[in-house]
Amino acid sequence: MGAVETMPSREKQENSPPPEEKSPQAIADPHALNLAVSPEIRELSQLSAWDMLPLLDAEEEAEPYDFPLAMNNQVEYYLDFFQNRHRKTFAKWLARSSRYLPMIKKELSLAGLPEDLAYLPMIESGFNPTVSSHASAVGTWQFMQATGKSYGLTVNNYVDERRDPVKSTKAAVAYLSNLYKQFDSWHLAVAAYNAGEGRIKRAMKQSDTEDFWEIAKSQYIHSETKLYVPQLIAAIMIAK
């Protein structure tokens, strides 16, 4: 496909970590995890923040990962953030995830996709099937209306299947599978899930690279998308 965006951009504009969750609706847009770019994020966005650091040897990992991990200052920042300043909220999300993870992992496995993608709703919604964002993304997987309909979800004045954990998971699995077929990279596919595939294709062309981490050093994608992949990697590493 060309640079024309075939799905509506899912990107939100908030860019700093959220406040602690006080109720299921406290974080109106947990997909972004951010309300304003913090000084720490501004600092990480400069210089060597995206340079790769060594990962643990596979034999030292307690549980194998099937999503490609990476380590840099951004990932380290979110490992610290989720386990310290955001610890209570992350613990709530992790507890809530136990209700949905078996079903999500089963759907991912049936589709031949990495089961670690089951933690994507941690970043999207905190595993809250009823949450709505300011941009009108809804449900566990934070589908925009047009995208949800494109993947078979009914959305009208009477029914909104974006709030159905099972049906929205099947739609998300189909969407992620399609994104991987387009990009042949899970980092790029996940970035496209956040920003829209058209935006990522344009960024690849403008930066002349197919490496997400190189694209993240450029000005061609917004900060939210640059931080989205590190957030997911950190969430996977902590949850497992």
Report all structural domains of the chain as residue ranges with CATH numbers, in order of start: 39-239 (1.10.530.10)
pLDDT tens digit sequence for 3-29:
333 334 454 433 333 333 333 333 334
Q: How many CA atoms lie within 13 A of 219 on its CB side?
A: 0
**pLDDT mean across residues, the chain:** 83
* Residue 24 burial (10 A CB sphere; 0-12, 13-18, 19+): middle
Tokens of 61: 């990992």
Measured on CA atoms in the order 170, 175, 181, 183, is the torsion positive or negative?
A: negative
> Distance between CA 100 and CA 119 in Å, rounded?
10
pLDDT tens digit sequence for 116-126:
999 999 999 99
Number of neighbouring beta carbons within 10 Å of residue 14? 20
% of the chain residues with pLDDT over 70: 74
pLDDT confidence band for 240 (50 / 70 / 90): confident
Query: What integer is the mean pLDDT of 43-54?
Result: 52
- Which 8-state DSSP code applies to residue 60? G
Task: Give CA torsion, residues 233, 86, 46, 74, to 10 deg.
Answer: -20
Residue 218 CB partners (closer than 8 Å, separation 6+): 203, 206, 207
Residue 222 has pLDDT above 90, yes or no: yes
The confidence score (pLDDT) of residue 52 equals: 58
Of 124, 161, 197, 224, catalytic: 124
* 61 carries an active-site annotation: no
Query: What integer is the mean pLDDT of 140-146?
Result: 98
Alpha helices in 56-164 (DSSP H): 73-83, 87-97, 101-110, 120-124, 145-150
Query: What integer is the mean pLDDT of 75-85?
Result: 96
pLDDT tens digit sequence for 84-105:
999 999 999 999 999 999 999 9
% of the chain residues with pLDDT over 90: 73
